[in-house]
Amino acid sequence: MSRSAVSIPSASPPAARDVLELLKPITWFPPMWAFMCGVVSSGVGMEGRWWFLVAGIALTGPLVCGTSQAVNDWFDRHVDAINEPNRPIPSGRVGSNWGLRIAIIGTLLSLVVAWFTGPFVLAATVVGLICAWCYSAPPFRFKTSGWLGPAVVALTYEGLAWFTGASVMAGALPKAEVLIVLALYSLGAHGIMTLNDFKAVEGDRATGLRSLPVTLGVNKAARLACATMALPQFAVIALLYSWGYLWSAIAVSAVLLAQLALMPRLLRNPKAHAPWYSATGVTLYVLGMLGSALGLGGYI
């Protein structure tokens, strides 16, 4: 494939709208939601912490998550030239090596903001950026593995974002209960990431991506995704109850029961119903995150 099929050589900076499309704002919501769960779980008021709140939202959304999208599109530009030729890089709207430059600039800006936000946020940001580059860039390319790829995304989108929210408000390491719950929800999010792979089974198989629907088969991968999402939530409920957060445990139980009621339809036809479950069951999952955070923060 010629270089012109991938990106039109151009030294001119891309238009702002094309940069924004490259950074995929629609993907910022999950880590920003997890960040807000972290803020709530800290139990710390907003007084005097507004700068940290704004910095944390910027880090989890447009900076770290946006940078990860730029990194991914840069290293997938040859594949996108075939599958999604209208994307900013293969179409030439983000030409030359501007995709790589934007990824590097985003990385540096993220580190600068995290530096001024606190040592724990800086540590989480460094881990998140390492994951972002290793997910897409050779020689690691974690995205080619159905086990490592979803685990890395789940860790960064849920766990690290929640950690950032809790630590940015407290100005310290979050309490042990918060760390345990965010770890469990990160584990469960592996199943959510697996659901995203059902839409591209044939393409993944053709390009050598070893997603779980490819390696395990669609039906087995769907059952594993459901179990992976549900079991950590059972653990969260038990822990919340044992810690005395009764109403929080009840809230998480309610959304988990609703998820369990929806899962049989997903399992009947995983490829057809994965988008439907992502819109319904995953919404319930993240509402459970908020229910847990409200309890941990002392609000219910």
Residue 6 in any domain: the answer is no
Predicted confidence (pLDDT) at residue 8 exceeds the cutoff of 70? no
Q: Rounded to whole angstroms, what are the CA distances from 66 to 32, 114, 134, 140, 181?
A: 12, 15, 15, 20, 26
Residue 243 and residue 225 share a domain: yes
Q: State the average pLDDT over residues 26-48.
A: 94
Residue 201 and residue 158 share a domain: no
- Classify the C-alpha dihedral 49-50-55-61 as positive or negative: positive
Task: Give the number of domains in the chain.
Answer: 2
C-beta separation of 72 from 136 below 8 A: yes
C-beta separation of 95 from 8 below 8 A: yes
Residue 7 in any domain: the answer is no
Residue 155 and residue 277 share a domain: no
Q: State the average pLDDT over residues 137-166.
A: 95
pLDDT per residue as tens digits for the range 234-283: 999 999 999 999 999 999 999 999 999 999 999 999 999 999 999 999 99
Q: Given this model, what pLDDT does residue 268 score?
A: 96
Q: Given this model, what pLDDT does residue 14 score?
A: 93
Predicted confidence (pLDDT) at residue 107 exceeds the cutoff of 90? yes
Please tell me the total number of residues recorded for the chain in this structure: 300
Q: Return the percentage of the chain with pLDDT > 90, whole number.
A: 83
pLDDT per residue as tens digits for the range 80-99: 888 789 999 999 999 889 99
Q: State the average pLDDT over residues 71-87.
A: 89
Residue 202 and residue 160 share a domain: no
C-beta separation of 174 from 141 below 8 A: no
Residue 2 in any domain: the answer is no
Predicted confidence (pLDDT) at residue 196 exceeds the cutoff of 70? yes
Residue 23 and residue 164 share a domain: yes
In terms of residue numbers, what domain contains 179?
A: 175-300
- Split at pLDDT 50, 70, 90, the class of 9 is low
Q: Which of 99, 97, 78, 79 is nearest to 88 (CA)?
A: 99
For residue 135, what is the domain's CATH number? 1.10.357.140
- Split at pLDDT 50, 70, 90, the class of 1 is very low
Residue 121 in any domain: the answer is yes
Integer Cα distance of 231 and 185 in angstroms: 10
Q: Determine the residue type at 21.
A: E
Token pair in block for residue 33:
């939601």
Integer Cα distance of 147 and 167 in angstroms: 28
Residue 8 in any domain: the answer is no
Q: Given this model, what pLDDT does residue 190 score?
A: 97
Residue 212 and residue 288 share a domain: yes
Q: Given this model, what pLDDT does residue 3 score?
A: 42
Residue 195 and residue 170 share a domain: no
> Of 174, 202, 227, at which residue does a domain stop?
174
Residue 147 and residue 23 share a domain: yes
